[in-house]
Chains A and B, each alone.
Chain A
C-alpha cells in the first residue's frame, strides 16, 4: 500500500444544474471533494441534498454542468457516452439500495453480467463469478434466483457483481437502506472487510449514523455544499 496517499477521486468546482421546465435546480454548487485510494468514505446529508447526484458524477453515470471530475488522474467529465460506458465497465462497481439484480438471471449469471463486457472466456467468467460469490459468502446459492433470496442475500449478490471486475472504486448508494439492522450490519462488515483486506476504495451514501461509523471518514452534503462536520 505504498500509494495510500494518492488522490483517487478528484472532484473540483462541480456544479450540477437540473432544469425542470423553466425552473433551474442547482443541486451541487462549486463542489470540491477529494478521496484517497483505500479510503472508505461515508456521504451523508438530508434527502434531496444531492448525494446520489454526486455519486453519479463520480461513477460516470452523469456529467457535471461545469467543473471537473478526475478518477485515478483521468478526466471523465469530457468523455462521450460510449467512452463513459467503457470506462465504467473497467473502473466502477455499483451497489444499489434496491439491489437491482436481474430477476430473470440466477445469482451466478447476475454476477457474470459485467464480465460479458470483458474478453474473458465462458470458463473464466464462471470462475471469477464463483470467486466473487465466495467472498460474499454465497458460494452455494449460485443457482438461486433473486426472488428466492432474502434482501441481505440479494445485496450480497449485488456486491459480488460490483467487485467481480475488480473495479478501481466501489460506489454504494444506501446499500443498507432497505435492510433490517442485522442484515445491514452484515453488509457493512462485508464492505469494511473489502476496504481493509483488499484495499478497495469505497464511497457509500447513507442516512444511517450506524453505517457511517464503519467508514474511515464521513462528509456531509448540505444545500449543495460539502461539510466535514454534521450541520446543525
Chain B
C-alpha cells in the first residue's frame, strides 16, 4: 500500500492521457452494461417462460387465424388443464408510434393461466362486470398517464369496428402489476366477447391459444397430440412450449447473444489497444525513471508490480464508473423503454462478468509494458538519460 502514492503520481503525470484512457474504458463498460440489459430484455422472455404452458398457433404463421371451436377440442385432450385464446389486435392510440401490445382475451382464462399478470380481486370483478372494460399494465399506464375510469379510444388497422365509427372505445377497469421479476407490464387486455361481437370480419376466429398442461414432462407429448388432432384440417396447428416460442421470437432478431458478443469483443479489443498503448507509452517515456527506481534497490518484480498496478487502476476506475453509469442509465431508461423492451434491467451476473473483465483488461493491457519495465537493464536505462 505504501507504493500507492507512487502509482497514483505516475498516473497523474499525463492527466489528459490518463483521463482519456479511463474515459474510453468507461465507455466500453457502459456499452457492456447497456447491451447486457438489452440482451436481458430480449432473451429474458425465455427465462420467464413457464414449462407448464404451451402456445398453439397456426402451422404456417402466427398471423393466420385459428377457429374458436378448437378451444373445446384442445381442452378435451388428456393432460390439458386449461385453454385460453389470444388475438393480436394491433391497437393504435392517437399515433402509430405509440406502439404497445393489445389483445382481446377471455378474462378468467387469462388471469388463471398467467399469474405474472397480478390484478387486485376487486378489479378482476369489475372487469367481469364491464363489457368494454380493459386491464392495462402498470408500465403502459405510467407511460400515458392513464388511470382507472379513463376511456381509451383505439383504432386497429386489422380489426375495424363495425358500426358508425371505426374507433374502439375501452374503459380502464384494472391496472396489473408484474407478478414476477422482469415480467412485462406493457400489455392492454380487453374482453373477447365485446370484440367478437363488434368486429366486422373474421368472427369466431382467434390468433393463438395458451394451454396449461398437467406436467412439464407431458408437454412434448401433449403438443404432438394437439397437432395430430388438427392434422389434415384447413387450419393445422403448431404447438410448442412457451420457452421454445420465446426462443423462436428472439431468433427473429438474429442471434442476439452472438451479435452482442461480437460487438463487445470488438469494443474490448479496441480498448485493450488503447489502454495497452497508454501503458506502453508511459513505460517508454520513463525508461530512465524506472532505471533509477531499480538502481536505488527496487527489485524487478516490484517494478513489474508498480506498472501493473497502474494498468489495474485505469481498468478499475474506467470499469467501475462505466458499470455504475450503466446501472444508473438502465434504471433511468427502463420506464420509458418498458413498452418496447419489458424486462430491461442489468442482471447481477452481467455485473460479475464486468468485474472479471476489469481484472482481465488490467492484466492484459499492462502485462507487456510491465514485463519490458521489469527487464530493463539498469545501466542501459540510465545511459539513455544522458
Q: Which residues of A pack against B, CB within 8 Å?
A: 52-53, 56, 59, 61-62, 81-82, 85-90, 92, 94, 96-98, 100, 102-105, 109, 113-114, 116-117, 122, 161
Question: Is there an interface contact between B2 and A104, defined as CB atoms closer than 8 Å?
Answer: no
Complex interface residues of chain B between 281 and 312 (CB less than 8 A to chain A): 288-289, 292-302
Question: Is there an interface contact between A96 and B296, defined as CB atoms closer than 8 Å?
Answer: no
Question: Is there an interface contact between B6 and A94, defined as CB atoms closer than 8 Å?
Answer: no
Closest to A18 in B: B379
A98-B386 CB under 8 A given contacts A105-B6, A105-B9: yes
- B13: chain A residues at CB < 8 Å are 103-104
**Can you offer 30 A-B residue contacts whose CB atoms are under 8 A?**
A53-B379, A59-B295, A61-B295, A61-B378, A61-B379, A62-B378, A81-B299, A82-B299, A82-B301, A85-B297, A85-B299, A85-B300, A85-B302, A88-B297, A89-B298, A94-B295, A94-B296, A96-B292, A96-B385, A97-B386, A100-B288, A103-B13, A103-B289, A104-B9, A104-B10, A104-B12, A104-B13, A105-B6, A113-B6, A117-B296
How far apart are A150's CB and chain B's nearest CB, in angstroms? 19
Question: Is there an interface contact between B2 and A62, defined as CB atoms closer than 8 Å?
Answer: no
Contact of B5 among A62, A96, A98, A109 (CB under 8 A): A109
- A114: chain B residues at CB < 8 Å are 296-297
Question: Is there an interface contact between B300 and A81, defined as CB atoms closer than 8 Å?
Answer: yes
Question: Is there an interface contact between A86 and B295, defined as CB atoms closer than 8 Å?
Answer: no
Closest to A114 in B: B296
How far apart are B98's CB and chain A's nearest CB, in angstroms? 57
Contact of A117 among B5, B297, B385 (CB under 8 A): B297
- B382: chain A residues at CB < 8 Å are 61, 96, 100
How far apart are A94's CB and chain B's nearest CB, in angstroms? 5
Question: Is there an interface contact between A86 and B2, defined as CB atoms closer than 8 Å?
Answer: no
Closest to A115 in B: B2
- Bound state CA distance, A52 and B383, in angstroms? 10
How far apart are A41's CB and chain B's nearest CB, in angstroms? 20
- A56: chain B residues at CB < 8 Å are 378-379
- Is B3 in the interface zone, CB < 8 Å from A? yes
Known: A82-B299, A103-B289, A114-B297. 5 other contacts (CB 8 A): A59-B295, A61-B378, A89-B297, A105-B6, A113-B6
- A100: chain B residues at CB < 8 Å are 288-289, 292, 382, 385
- Bound state CA distance, A2 and B383, in angstroms? 39
Question: Is there an interface contact between A161 and B297, defined as CB atoms closer than 8 Å?
Answer: no
- Bound state CA distance, A102 and B385, in angstroms? 13
Residue among A52, A92, A102, A122 with the highest chain B CB neighbour number at 10 A: A102
Complex interface residues of chain B between 25 and 65 (CB less than 8 A to chain A): none
Question: Is there an interface contact between A161 and B296, defined as CB atoms closer than 8 Å?
Answer: yes
- Bound state CA distance, A89 and B299, in angstroms? 9
Contact of A90 among B297, B378, B385 (CB under 8 A): B297
- Bound state CA distance, A59 and B379, in angstroms? 11
- B302: chain A residues at CB < 8 Å are 85
- A89: chain B residues at CB < 8 Å are 296-298
Contact of B295 among A88, A90, A116 (CB under 8 A): A88
Kindly supply a per-residue 1/0 record for chain B positions 349-386, scoring 1 wherever the CB is within 8 Å of any chain A CB and 0 otherwise: 00000000000000000000000000000110011011
